[in-house]
Structure 1
């Protein structure tokens, strides 16, 4: 596969994310390169080639793998969705930690005020008995749609969709969502 300056420029634009062209130029100047905002603009438009030493510094400054700078459009899209999955997974882990911490704090608080609560606060509003799995199951029930269509796509022979469908089947081995508790 041959990657031209225009493709590298498109990837550069995508990889810099929320950083402005001026900010990238400043970061590169701090590494000893004589860059301006116009340099970044020229590279992004494919009008100026990116030298190898510059490319190495750029990926370090942007915190991105070198491969992403030279990826073709298909690879770039797949890589972007892989990063999104990774970021979503980290956010989900953080949310689980916050949920468990909140439940623990609720339990600790509840034991000190138990006899002084109104009816709506009995049992911590149900949260003390709610697990992460309960929350996920409720989400699936609410947002998944018709279970007969769950995880089913038009091309049942596509290996990537098969892998995705297998994860759905692990969650719902009978093909139906569990009854709400």
Structure 2
């Protein structure tokens, strides 16, 4: 119960209520919160957080601001009466945004790592094109199918990063215009998607775009069988 002799007791009670509910909604333990507050310069331990939330220890103004910052919740909201369903919804949304921010970092890191491998694939595919004069041949179509797979993954990662940015971005900019800072190395091979020579007269199932729908092992079997048949038909080849 608020202390009638302390006109700020209700504010403190509201702060404790928000502190506990906010921490729990974010999935942060008392120990983890104490560790973060120590990093901000406060001499807090798990027991300190427990006593504050339990009303056994008052909160100084500087502590209140740092606790609010650690919980990413405005100080003025921390001292307001709980807002029932609306306040709970706000907390749930903010928890979602925190998770999206972490996911966005992971996606961008994955995109960067994948781009390195895709670039290596593109270099090897370029060499393959130099060696194979017939772009309608099975080997070129096999390599092109893997380029299509790589492009699809890069496009998907970029789209995911943009979608996550729509949750995490606080700016007034169009969140769909986020600049994903990784070049799509398959961009130079967009002709693979074009329904022009060398594949326009081929059955759709034999075009790289359709072959890219095949499972990896099926693609390996495809080119292996082709190479085995070719070797049988050209035993004199080195």
TM-score by length of 2: 0.40
Task: Choose 1 or 2 for highest CA Rg.
Answer: 2
TM-score by length of 1: 0.49
